[in-house]
């Protein structure tokens, strides 16, 4: 297949392993390699892995600072959309040297899907005290823009002028906003949440101090709000928020202007 005719992940996944690796290593930012003490020569199957089934429009990429590390420093899952774009289904950037909080397994050892299918309250309490957001097992690397720029370039190489990202939690939507994303769906919910956390609003009043995830101070930060939402202050599960990033034409949307 001529590289210029590759327009989707499904088509990339039909190529041989060498060609697939060539495409997918383009999603690794050079500043991230520098930070982890790696070079492009380290993008072999010891440090950089990808899972991509032939004829399926999905890929999971992981970069490990050291092959034996429990957690990947960089994980991204991408999927083809029905309208010919690429969706970032999941993204994680973790400092492999930072303290780990086992919010991904409950006290019986069952997978919590990063706190969305079950909770380890003890680990979550330790995480929130340490300034982490829901879904983080370790401190982040603060390299979102470097990754987003790589996804921009990757999608442009596929002939796509935009891509979409699913907000795993409230704070992820805020991060997307601050990196030039606009809303595909969920903008009304985000505005309602911001209004609800204003003094006297229903979400503000739900921060009643009844547990570590419902402290009044959380109304003023994105990750604090996100923990309260994870704890159920919305009265419904989080979801339905999806954003887009247009290559070369970033948006200027702020549903919340406070600190992260």
The per-residue pLDDT for range 101-110, each reduced to its tens digit, is 999 999 999 9
Which residue, 8, 95, 84, is CA-closest to 52? 8
Beta-bridge mates of residue 214: none
Q: What is the largest CA-CA distance in the chain?
A: 60
pTM of the model: 0.94
Q: Kindly state the helix (H) or strand (E) to which residue 249 belongs, with its residue range.
A: none
Number of Cβ within 10 Å of residue 201's Cβ equals: 15
Which residue, 103, 99, 61, is CA-closest to 79? 61
The label of the residue with tokens 């500043």 reads 31
Mapped onto helix, strand or coil, the DSSP state of residue 88 is strand
Alpha-carbon separation of residue 174 from 54, 116, 163, 168 (angstroms): 34, 19, 17, 11
> Could you tell me which CATH number the domain at 3-181+236-246 has?
3.40.630
- pLDDT score at 101: 98
The secondary structure of 116-169 as a DSSP string is: TSS--HHHHHHHHHTTPPTT-SS-B-S-HHHHHHHHHHHHHHTT-SEEEEE-SS
Cβ atoms of 61 and 88 within 8 Å: the answer is no
Report the interhelical angle of 170-177 vs 222-230 (nearest 10°): 150
What are 22-41's pLDDT values in tens digits? 999 999 999 999 999 999 99
- pLDDT score at 2: 52
Mapped onto helix, strand or coil, the DSSP state of residue 52 is coil
**Distance linking the first and last C-alpha atoms of the chain:** 45
Residue-level pLDDT, tens digit, the chain, 260 residues: 555 589 999 999 999 999 999 999 999 999 999 999 999 999 999 999 999 999 899 999 999 999 999 999 999 999 999 999 999 999 999 999 999 999 999 999 999 999 999 999 999 999 999 999 999 999 999 999 999 999 999 999 999 999 999 999 999 999 999 999 999 999 999 999 999 999 999 999 999 999 999 999 999 999 999 999 999 999 999 999 999 999 999 999 999 999 99
Alpha-carbon separation of residue 6 from 12, 36, 142, 187, 192 (angstroms): 7, 31, 31, 33, 41
Alpha-carbon separation of residue 178 from 140, 149, 167, 239, 254 (angstroms): 16, 14, 13, 19, 7
- pLDDT score at 55: 87
């Amino acid at each position: 297949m001529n590289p210029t005719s590759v327009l989707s992940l499904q088509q990339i996944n039909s190529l041989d392993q060498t060609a697939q690796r060539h495409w997918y290593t383009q999603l690794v930012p050079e500043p991230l390699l520098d930070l982890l003490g790696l070079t492009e020569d380290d993008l072999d199957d010891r440090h950089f892995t990808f899972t991509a089934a032939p004829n399926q429009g999905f890929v999971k990429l992981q970069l490990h600072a050291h092959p034996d590390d429990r957690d990947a420093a960089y994980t991204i899952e991408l999927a083809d959309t029905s309208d010919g774009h690429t969706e970032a289904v999941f993204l994680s950037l973790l400092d492999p040297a930072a303290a780990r909080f086992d919010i991904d397994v409950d006290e019986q050892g069952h997978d919590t899907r990063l706190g969305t299918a079950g909770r380890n309250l003890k680990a979550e309490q330790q995480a929130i005290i340490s300034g982490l957001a829901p879904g983080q097992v370790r401190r982040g690397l603060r390299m979102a823009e470097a990754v987003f720029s790589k996804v921009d370039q990757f999608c442009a190489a596929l002939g796509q002028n935009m891509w979409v990202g699913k907000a795993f939690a409230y704070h992820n939507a805020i991060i997307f906003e601050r990196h030039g994303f606009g809303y595909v769906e969920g903008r009304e919910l985000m505005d309602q949440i911001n209004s609800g956390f204003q003094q006297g609003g229903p979400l503000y009043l739900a921060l009643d101090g009844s547990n570590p995830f419902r402290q009044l101070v959380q109304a003023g930060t994105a990750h604090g709000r996100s923990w309260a939402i994870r704890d159920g202050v919305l009265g419904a599960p989080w979801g339905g928020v999806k954003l887009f990033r247009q290559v070369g034409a970033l948006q200027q949307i702020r549903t919340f202007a406070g600190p992260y």
